[in-house]
């Protein structure tokens, strides 16, 4: 979504970093470029003025002129202020002390409230809650039916005593009674809360009606639902693609209903992102969630600092790590580690397991886009065909169990059969087997501690190139002349080497360090302080998850 804004800001900072010193005219030119980039991204003018004013105030002060690297200090200021207008700190849902917690969704028609209701229900269920969806949108044609379908996909029960408008908008006009002909949304919402309390559901998500424009009836109805249900959270669901209109809409709902937070939908679109950069400042309420796709799992907590890093092309490594932790099965990871440590070869069955885990993480393009510096490789990302994974999977599933575990036994006739079964060509099967053979060689090399073939060794790792050029390797500690003490030293060295290898493999396959439970700190985290990281990466190692 923020591609255009990110490109312009990245180019602006690249030009600034080329200068050895930063003068006042350089800062003025940079701030002017930032202002133009934000206005082009449909950010509200008051927000732009506030944002650039804060940057000017800090950049023209001693904070930049006394810095060792003024250009990087300007980037740091922009990053912090960008996180500020996105909401500052990450805010989570406030759950009621006495369940059920009532969450009301409000917004314009077409903003994605019904779809988000299912996503939020699934997200809460994954967190250990027992949510219930309430169909209080009785005006939009078949809105109740849509919520029931979404709830079924998300695995969340739906309370829908009224069917609402099932014949289209003309039915409401023909009845002569307006919305009352379909039932009272306020009564449905109140009954839904009572139903959840009776059945033991600890969270109630109320899907309310939207309109194509702001009107008095909508605001009165939404306000009545909030008052009658004593809603703990009122989330304003806004389409991130509406641009400048987000300001007026957000302010109207904030004044008329009294929202406690916002939700950005359709962040996977190609809009310029003005709504995301305006809504938190205009309403004074934080953004809680972001919807990034059509699937029921395409929802994530909104972290202002991480979103600011994405916009400035610094990546979002923490979110990528969290997705990997959710996607990779710990039992499979332990099994992969065991196989490698016991000299068992990497097979196509293992390959399928790893591919399934990657698919559970989401879109590969989105994952690669979270890596720092990937904005400059957008053309390569756009040309990436994710259907190639499906073709590879089809070839592997066309193999017999024997062939998956013995790829070297796949001769010409077997390759032709696999190609026919997967709808591919023999040359594609040959390429897959060749790449898989290279992968097996690499895994064997890693197991022996020799590093990746064709790549220089990492500092402190085994294999060629592990040390710095021109510097001799550090001297090893001498062994004792006492046979008993020497044997003890050798056993201790072998034990440490085995533990290091096991930890390395477990981390590689997503299992985490040995003995490291959920919520515990990584005992080796302190060793990261010695790494030379790219600018902007220090914050990923400082403080962990926020």
Feature table: binding site: 107-114, 207-211, 265-268
Q: Annotate 382-435 with DSSP letters as a single string.
A: HT--THHHHHHHHHHHTS-HHHHH-GGG--HHHHHHHHHHHT--HHHHHHHHHH
Interhelix angle 330-341/348-361, nearest 10 degrees: 150
Beta bridge partners of 291: 299
- What is the rounded distance in angstroms from the CA atom of residue 287 to the CA atom of residue 307? 11
Whether 5 and 311 have beta carbons less than 8 Å apart is answered as yes
- What is the rounded distance in angstroms from the CA atom of residue 13 to the CA atom of residue 51? 17
Question: Alpha-carbon torsion 454, 455, 461, 464, what sign?
Answer: positive
Q: Which two tokens stand for residue 168?
A: 């289209």
Three-class HEC string of 290-357: EECCCCCCCEEECCHHHHHHHHCCCCCHHHHHHHHHHHCCHHHHHHHHHHHHCCCCCCHHHHHHHHHH
Question: Alpha-carbon torsion 374, 375, 376, 381, what sign?
Answer: positive
Helix, strand, coil content of the chain in percent (nearest 5): 55, 5, 35
Collapsing DSSP to helix, strand or coil, 164 comes out as coil
Whether 233 and 260 have beta carbons less than 8 Å apart is answered as yes
- What is the rounded distance in angstroms from the CA atom of residue 307 to the CA atom of residue 279? 14
Query: Which of 231, 213, 279 is closest to 222 using CA atoms?
Result: 231
Query: Which of 225, 2, 229, 240 is closest to 108 using CA atoms?
Result: 240
Q: Which helix (H) or strand (E) holds 72?
A: helix 70-85
Q: Which two tokens stand for residue 419?
A: 């190609």
- What is the rounded distance in angstroms from the CA atom of residue 425 to the CA atom of residue 83? 50
- What is the rounded distance in angstroms from the CA atom of residue 243 to the CA atom of residue 278? 9
Beta bridge partners of 131: 203
The annotation places the binding site for GTP at 107-114, 207-211, 265-268
The HSE-up count of residue 336 (CA atoms within 13 Å, CB side) is: 26
Count the Cβ atoms, other than its own, within 10 Å of residue 543. 7
CA 316 → CA 232, 301, 319, 454, 534, distances in Å?
A: 31, 13, 6, 29, 14
CA 254 → CA 218, 280, 522, distances in Å?
A: 13, 11, 43
């Amino acid at each position: 979504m923020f591609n255009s804004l990110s490109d312009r800001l990245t180019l602006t900072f690249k030009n600034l970093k080329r200068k050895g010193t930063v003068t006042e005219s350089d800062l003025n030119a940079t701030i002017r470029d930032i202002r133009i980039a934000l206005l082009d991204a449909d950010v509200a003018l008051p927000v732009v003025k506030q944002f650039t004013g804060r940057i000017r105030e800090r950049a023209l002060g001693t904070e930049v002129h006394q810095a060792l690297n003024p250009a990087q200090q300007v980037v740091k200021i922009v990053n912090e202020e960008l996180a500020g207008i996105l909401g500052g700190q990450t805010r989570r849902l406030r759950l009621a002390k006495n369940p059920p917690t009532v969450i009301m969704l409000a917004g314009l028609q077409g903003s994605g409230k019904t779809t988000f209701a299912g996503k939020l229900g699934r997200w809460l269920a994954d967190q250990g809650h027992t949510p219930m969806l309430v169909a209080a949108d009785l005006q939009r044609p078949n809105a109740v039916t849509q919520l029931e379908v979404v709830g079924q996909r998300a695995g969340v029960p739906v309370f829908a005593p009224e069917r609402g408008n099932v014949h289209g908008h003309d039915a409401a006009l023909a009845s002569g009674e307006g919305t009352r002909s379909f039932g009272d949304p306020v009564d449905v919402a109140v009954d839904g809360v009572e139903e959840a309390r009776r059945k033991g559901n600890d969270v109630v998500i109320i899907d309310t009606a939207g309109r194509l424009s702001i009107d008095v009836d909508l605001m009165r109805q939404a306000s009545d639902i909030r008052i009658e249900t004593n809603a703990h959270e009122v989330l304003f669901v806004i389409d991130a693609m509406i641009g400048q209109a987000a300001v007026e809409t957000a302010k109207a709902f904030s004044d008329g209903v009294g929202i406690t937070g916002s939700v950005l939908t359709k962040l996977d679109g190609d809009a310029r992102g003005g709504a995301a950069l305006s809504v938190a400042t205009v309403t004074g309420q934080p953004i809680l969630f972001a919807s990034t796709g059509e699937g029921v799992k395409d929802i994530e907590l909104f972290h202002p600092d991480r979103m600011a890093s994405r916009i400035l092309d610094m990546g979002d490594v923490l979110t990528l790590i969290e997705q990997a932790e959710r996607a990779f099965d710990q039992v499979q990871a332990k099994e992969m580690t065991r196989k490698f440590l016991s000299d068992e070869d990497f097979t196509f069955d293992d390959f399928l397991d790893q591919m399934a885990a990657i698919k559970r993480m989401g879109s590969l393009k989105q994952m690669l886009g979270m890596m720092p510096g990937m904005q400059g490789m957008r053309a390569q990302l756009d040309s990436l065909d994710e259907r190639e994974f499906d073709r590879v999977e089809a070839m592997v599933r066309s193999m017999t169990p024997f062939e998956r575990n013995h790829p070297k036994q796949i001769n010409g006739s077997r390759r032709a059969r696999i190609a026919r079964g997967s709808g591919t060509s023999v040359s594609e099967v040959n390429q897959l087997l060749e790449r898989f053979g290279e992968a097996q060689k690499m895994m064997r090399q890693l197991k022996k501690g020799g590093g990746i073939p064709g790549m220089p060794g990492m500092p402190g790792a085994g294999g060629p190139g592990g040390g710095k050029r021109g510097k001799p390797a550090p001297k090893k500690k001498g062994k004792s002349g006492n046979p008993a003490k020497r044997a003890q030293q050798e056993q201790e060295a072998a034990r440490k080497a085995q533990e290091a290898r096991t930890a390395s493999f477990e981390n590689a396959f997503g299992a985490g360090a040995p003995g490291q439970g959920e919520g515990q700190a990584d005992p080796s985290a302190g060793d990261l302080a010695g790494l030379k990281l790219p600018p902007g990466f220090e914050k990923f190692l400082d403080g962990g998850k926020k």
